Structure 1
Amino acid sequence: MVEKIIDPVDPALIEQELTPERFLRRTNKADNVIYVVDAKCAPHTMREIGRLREISFRASGGGTGKACDIDEFDLMAPPCRQLLVWNPHKREIIGAYRFIAGNDIKTNADGSPRIAMGHMFRFSPAFMRDYLPVTIELGRSFVRPEYQSTHAGVKAIFALDNLWDGLGALTVVHPEMKYLMGKMTMYPAYRHDCRNLLLAFLNLYFPDPDVLVRPIDPLETNADEQELESFFAGNDFKEDYRRLNAYIRDHGINIPPLVNAYMSLSPKMRMFGTAINHEFGEVEESGIFFKIDEIANQKKSRHIDTYIKDSM
């Protein structure tokens, strides 16, 4: 049974929790502000984030079905933290990311990491030993529906860019962290032929040769992998991306914005396969992983260097 989503939280209660010590940075575009909070220090803000997450994910074909999307990872000790973009003029949250740094990650009794990806992916001993302690796990990212369309005005165009300003700042605030890990979500309603070709492209250009992480319940596409791979040249990223994008656009849809954003983030990104998230509307989650030092220079300049400059 799908529950009715809770009422909006009074902005005045949120503003009381967005204190100076929780301020991270101003955004490069649209004059918004980024904060980092958690459910313990900012319960009202957490409740509004949970409300907006559920609205946004349901609108895309996913969601928990609960009145408010707040789970064990938001509430555990130590909790995941919430990086949020606040529009001070409209007094509303534009979007957010949930994250936890490797030095805060605990292990379960079976040795699996106590993170959101832990119930969908199996982590190798090498990953647990050499990578996880210096990795930030990202998840539950959303942009509220009003800011997802260019029809909402010029400031809406920069909503996702604002979130990336926040992620760039996190890499500076946590210099001990060397990697970022998360999931790219695709929804069941997305055309399966387009999805299959997109996943083939991602696996071709962003492989995980060391088999560091693998899905527990992998997506079964029933597609001919050789036929999909034959669509691409296999040695020319830009040309194969052009072919992929043209094919998908010819079917009246686009490559999901966040998938596009991650593909341009690092040429050495790794794909960890695609798992089915049974607890979140059967959405398809592809694990991704990349080294912070290998983020493309254009992205570093835009989202990391600007924070360093402003902090000096």
Structure 2
Amino acid sequence: MIGTDNTLASPFLLSRQPVSSVPARLKKPLLMMAEHLLGLQRCQRLYDRVSAQDTEISFAEQALNTLDVRYQLSDHEQARIPTSGPCILIANHPFGGIEGLILMALLGKVRPDFKVMANFMLSGIPQLRDQLINVDPFGGADAARTNLTPLRQSLNWLKQGGMLVIFPAGEVSSRQATGEITDPVWSSTLPRLVRRSKAPVLPVFFPGENGALFQWAGRLHPRLRTLLLPHMLLNKAGQTLPLRIGNLLPSKKLIGFATSQELNNYLRLRTYGLNLATNTRAKTVAKSENDEPQPISAPRPAETLKNEIAALPEAQHLVHSGDFAVVEFTAAQAPGLLNEIGRLREVTFRDVGEGTGHSIDLDRFDETYTHLCLWNHKQGELVGAYRIGRVDDLLGHYGAEGLYTSTLFNFQPQLLERLHNALELGRSFIRPEYQRSYAPLLLLWKGIGHYLVNNPHYRYLFGPVSISNDYTANSRHLMVDTLTRYFMVKEWSGLVSPRLPVPVTPLKIQGLSAQQSDPLLRDMDEISALIADLESDSRGIPVLLRHYLSLGGKLLAFNLDPDFGHVIDGLLLVDLQQTERKQLQRYMGRQGYANYLAVQQHQTAACA
């Protein structure tokens, strides 16, 4: 459709193209009939209406307005578009035309310095020509050679700091051999551009697909799909089309992949993974008997809490760091401090859609467990806390019912025997005002480390870690599915069962086979990155869950807790003999770790 200046006024009409581009035997009436059947005449009328408008908005936005097409994009996802610097924007290609107009209209508002790598035939539209880098998507003997020029143009554009938009499939999504309607294999051009430009990549996903006629035509011949593309553009009139934008992928991560296929698989995962973001979240706070959460109880006087801390034996002051200290105590030693822990638990857990709904969050286990609390001397306030259960003592006095985790999971006797030298950890929190910093959690874990040094016969840490209902349903589904498949202790998990199992089926990410996605989803960081794409605040997997996994933690089971904000509790187990030395030294100190290790080695030798 590229021709003389006269042609440019009618880019969609075959009958006005140069004779040399049309077989001589096709007469004008036949061409006009073809224009009508293919929807080209309607496209031309649309083009004429858009061209006649004298406005300052972009051609793409005018075209969308004329078609009455709107796009739906959240503010937090639009904010992920970098406003400057080189960047490659990649997107799936479900429709064939409208998604390109949407991206051009969007980017025209955010950063006008963009170009789209697109079918050379689109350069027949003069208003778009300056924004296009033309490629030949049809293959053939000369395509590989002629496409070297646009590749060089793209690299030069990125080196100048511009944004490059690519639809890596090079053709519209269609029904594949698997039965899925998705992009075909992505071009190897994308990995080459990423590696040579070292530009970050921004993934974009458009939900949706063309209809049955388009898919049926493609089964007869791929070119029939191409002939239907004008209709596929026009039939989007009057619709609102959503799009999803993921987090920017740094080039350092991308150029580390060994092969182009691995890089394409990863980019495809991060693009199609955005389809999971279509789910909504539902915040739930567990209700009291009156169907409304009770008011949070009043705090105890700060002086009372200070006095209780000061009265604790020196050996129970575990960590000191500036204005902060970590102490251990029992309910009998510091009832006021325990009351404040219960109050702040409820405040903190309600803030993320959990909580008991009562005025204070305390239970019968608080009377028999040890408590670690982080105290701010300067502010005179409690910052956070952990609850520790000595499994050997609790089983000896109360049996399995003495463990908090027994309210969530059923344990076989063989498992309890294995956990005899374990500490059950749980009910941890950092009050909201301190959650922006990692330091409070680090100090609490140093407290746990010193507690282990003082009680070195404990080898295992285990306990429930919550996945709150504040995450979207698909984020929770993704976490449970991948952690079950790749982070489960198979030889132990058969010895424990949830009281209320989490209904979950294997999660299939559209556009990827299991062979393509599995190697990527075995990485905790990749799971977290996918979750961050789905969440409005870009948070990944819960900090505490991530922390346990970094210690070498494994999952035993998942339980749904409707009495605590419908959280999902993952039962985690950490074998400290398998945790990296540097990790434990960070929490125990070098000498403390050496002392702890000596006791553990002695116990192992004695059991051999």
Q: Is the shorter-chain TM-score for this pair beyond 0.5, marking a shared fold?
A: yes
Within-5 A mapping of 1:238-253: 240-251=523-534, 252=536, 253=538
Which residue is equivalent to 1:46? 338
Q: Is the 8 A contact 1:136 1:177 kept in 2?
A: yes
Which residue is equivalent to 1:282? 566
- Say if 1:190 and 1:141 are closer, same or farther in 2 by CA, change over 3 A: same
Are positions 1:7 and 2:291 aligned together? no
Q: 1:64 is matched with which residue: 353, 356, 364?
A: 356
Within-5 A mapping of 1:171-190: 171-190=452-471
Q: RMSD of aligned C-alpha atoms?
A: 2.5
- Say if 1:58 and 1:180 are closer, same or farther in 2 by CA, change over 3 A: same
Structure 1 runs not aligned, ≥5 long? 150-155
- Say if 1:146 and 1:112 are closer, same or farther in 2 by CA, change over 3 A: same
Q: TM-score, normalised by structure 2?
A: 0.45
Residues 191-248 of structure 1 deviation map (CA, whole Å, 9 limit, x = unaligned): 1212222222322332121223221211113x335669938754567x7334323322
Which residue is equivalent to 2:273? none
Q: Is the 8 A contact 1:50 1:69 kept in 2?
A: yes
Residues 136-195 of structure 1 deviation map (CA, whole Å, 9 limit, x = unaligned): 00110000010012xxxxxx4311111111111121111121111111101123112122
Q: 1:82 is matched with which residue: 371, 376, 388?
A: 371
Which residue is equivalent to 1:115? 403
CA distance in 1 between counterparts of 2:503 and 2:322 reads 41
Within-5 A mapping of 1:119-268: 119-129=407-417, 131-149=418-436, 156-210=437-491, 211-221=494-504, 223-225=505-507, 230=514, 233-234=517-518, 240-251=523-534, 252=536, 253-254=538-539, 255-266=541-552
> Which residue type is aligned with residue 104 of structure 1?
D
- Say if 1:4 and 1:21 are closer, same or farther in 2 by CA, change over 3 A: same
Which residue is equivalent to 1:297? 581
Q: CA deviation at 1:51?
A: 0.6
Are positions 1:271 and 2:555 aligned together? yes
Q: 2:307 is matched with which residue: 16, 19, 35?
A: 16
Secondary structure at 1:112 match in 2? helix
CA distance in 1 between counterparts of 2:377 and 2:416 reads 40
> Which residue type is aligned with residue 144 of structure 1?
R
CA distance in 2 between counterparts of 1:231 and 1:189 reads 31
CA distance in 2 between counterparts of 1:272 and 1:135 reads 15
Q: Is the 8 A contact 1:83 1:97 kept in 2?
A: yes
Q: Is the 8 A contact 1:218 1:274 kept in 2?
A: yes
Which residue is equivalent to 1:96? 385
Q: Is the 8 A contact 2:460 2:573 kept in 1?
A: yes
- Say if 1:235 and 1:297 are closer, same or farther in 2 by CA, change over 3 A: farther
CA distance in 1 between counterparts of 2:352 and 2:515 reads 28
> Which residue type is aligned with residue 374 of structure 2?
V
> Which residue type is aligned with residue 304 of structure 2?
L
Structure 2 runs not aligned, ≥5 long? 1-289, 596-608
Which residue is equivalent to 1:26? 319
Q: CA deviation at 1:61?
A: 0.8
CA distance in 2 between counterparts of 1:53 and 1:232 reads 42
Greater strand share, structure number? 1
Higher relative contact order (CA 8 A, sep 6+): 1
Q: CA deviation at 1:90?
A: 0.8
Secondary structure at 1:136 match in 2? strand
- Say if 1:264 and 1:132 are closer, same or farther in 2 by CA, change over 3 A: same
Secondary structure at 1:279 match in 2? helix
- Say if 1:45 and 1:232 are closer, same or farther in 2 by CA, change over 3 A: farther
Secondary structure at 1:160 match in 2? helix
Q: CA deviation at 1:84?
A: 0.6
Secondary structure at 1:273 match in 2? strand
CA distance in 1 between counterparts of 2:455 and 2:397 reads 24
Residues 50-100 of structure 1 deviation map (CA, whole Å, 9 limit, x = unaligned): 11111001111111111111111112xxx1111011111111111000111
- Say if 1:49 and 1:244 are closer, same or farther in 2 by CA, change over 3 A: same
Q: CA deviation at 1:285?
A: 0.5
Greater CA drift, 272-281 or 81-90: 272-281
CA distance in 2 between counterparts of 1:241 and 1:232 reads 17
Q: Is the 8 A contact 1:234 1:240 kept in 2?
A: no
Q: CA deviation at 1:8?
A: 1.2
Q: Is the 8 A contact 1:84 1:93 kept in 2?
A: yes
Among all aligned residue pairs of Structure 1 and Structure 2, give the percentage whose two residues are the same amino acid.
28
Q: Is the 8 A contact 2:385 2:429 kept in 1?
A: yes
Q: Is the 8 A contact 2:305 2:337 kept in 1?
A: yes
Q: Is the 8 A contact 1:169 1:307 kept in 2?
A: no
CA distance in 2 between counterparts of 1:32 and 1:234 reads 43
Greater helix share, structure number? 2
Secondary structure at 2:351 match in 1? helix
- Say if 1:24 and 1:105 are closer, same or farther in 2 by CA, change over 3 A: same
> Which residue type is aligned with residue 548 of structure 2?
Y
